Amino acid sequence: MKWFMDWLTPDVASTIASKVDSITYFILIVSTFFFFLVVALMLIFVIKYKRKSENEKTSSIDENVPLEIVWTAIPLILLMIMFFWGYHVYLEMAVPPKDSMEIKVTGQKWFWTFDYPTGASSPGELVVPIHKPVKVLLSSKDVIHSMYVPAFRVKMDALPNRYTVLWFEANKIGEYPMYCTEFCGTEHSSMRAKVRVVSQEDYNAWLDQASSGGSGTSPEEYGKELYKKYACSTCHSLDGSKMTGPTWKAIWGEQQQTSAGAVKVDENYIRESILNPTAKIVNGYQPVMPPYTGILKDKDIEAIIAYIKTLK
């Protein structure tokens, strides 16, 4: 039930959100009012003007100028209000303010990466300071995805070989869900991310930490973080169950039957499977994993290997 309430009234966490809500509610109320008015009048007229006998004649009235002016003018005024109001809010959403900070957002099967001006990058989690306009430069590495943050009331397609733009200014500290809203393959529904709105000081501190590349944690812990952040978890289970890809549980050192013959799961096989996933597909699975070349650095791959070793 909670998800339904969240869906019906998502958090209001950006400057544009309440403006989008106002016009949405205005249109909803006007439409609902006229829906009931039209249906009620129709039912009344059906009963009132039903032909009651064989020789009953239809009345000769065929026009009523004041009535026609009224039912033309009122809808015209209402529709013009919707148009200019909507256009005004749309313009505001379409043009990022000049003092915006820029964050690059990249979608790919099936996770989101966020790149910050300092070179820091945070897969799976977008961290933004409060009261600061953020211009998002969107693109995709493979198919069309779409970035949607309900709490901000913003949504934009992410296309391969092209940039699209959206912007927002968060005005409420908290954590909000972000979804992919363009069907992009088997794991589309789990292509989610988290948006975290923090104070400017917390943002600066976080950015410093993120720019140093996760130092201070052990490779195993860092690998576990990457497993979640890069959404390895959508295809590889940790409990032995079969998902889109083979489980990671107790895989280390095992013999696997693959499309290129028997392979022992060691450092080289895992590294190859991350950078060139289709080279040796484990029997019974499809070659659907995208290559992580240029996304995961050597340090990241080593951390993932260290993490897989711990999964007994």
Q: Which positions touch ligand CUA (CB under 6 A)? A: 107, 110, 145, 180, 182-184, 188, 191
The CB-of-184 to ligand CUA minimum distance in angstroms stands at 3
The CB-of-112 to ligand CUA minimum distance in angstroms stands at 8
Indicate the residue among 179 and 222 with the shorter CB distance to ligand CUA: 179
Indicate the residue among 109 and 224 with the shorter CB distance to ligand CUA: 109
The CB-of-288 to ligand CUA minimum distance in angstroms stands at 14
Indicate the residue among 16 and 289 with the shorter CB distance to ligand CUA: 289
The CB-of-159 to ligand CUA minimum distance in angstroms stands at 12
The closest of 94, 76, 178, 185 to 141, measured between CA atoms, is 185
Indicate the residue among 114 and 206 with the shorter CB distance to ligand CUA: 114
DSSP-derived pairing of the beta strands 145-149 and 154-158: antiparallel
Cα-based distances in Å from 164 to 3, 37, 115, 129, 146: 30, 42, 15, 22, 10
Indicate the residue among 106 and 311 with the shorter CB distance to ligand CUA: 106
The closest of 153, 132, 146, 121 to 226, measured between CA atoms, is 121
The CB-of-180 to ligand CUA minimum distance in angstroms stands at 3
Compute the 3-state secondary structure of the chain and give helix, strand, coil in percent, each to the nearest 5: 40, 20, 40
The closest of 279, 280, 240 to 256, measured between CA atoms, is 280
Indicate the residue among 21 and 157 with the shorter CB distance to ligand CUA: 157
For tokens 């026009």, what's the residue? 63
Indicate the residue among 160 and 287 with the shorter CB distance to ligand CUA: 160
For the beta carbon of residue 191, count every other beta carbon within 10 angstroms.
23
- Is 101 in contact with 134 (CB distance < 8 Å)? yes
The CB-of-121 to ligand CUA minimum distance in angstroms stands at 18
The CB-of-183 to ligand CUA minimum distance in angstroms stands at 6
The closest of 271, 268, 276 to 301, measured between CA atoms, is 271
* Residue 177 CA, distance from chain mean position: 8
Indicate the residue among 87 and 183 with the shorter CB distance to ligand CUA: 183
The CB-of-113 to ligand CUA minimum distance in angstroms stands at 12
The closest of 199, 184, 208, 186 to 122, measured between CA atoms, is 208
DSSP-derived pairing of the beta strands 133-140 and 101-108: parallel
* Angle, CA 298 vertex, CA 265 and CA 116 arms, to 5°: 130
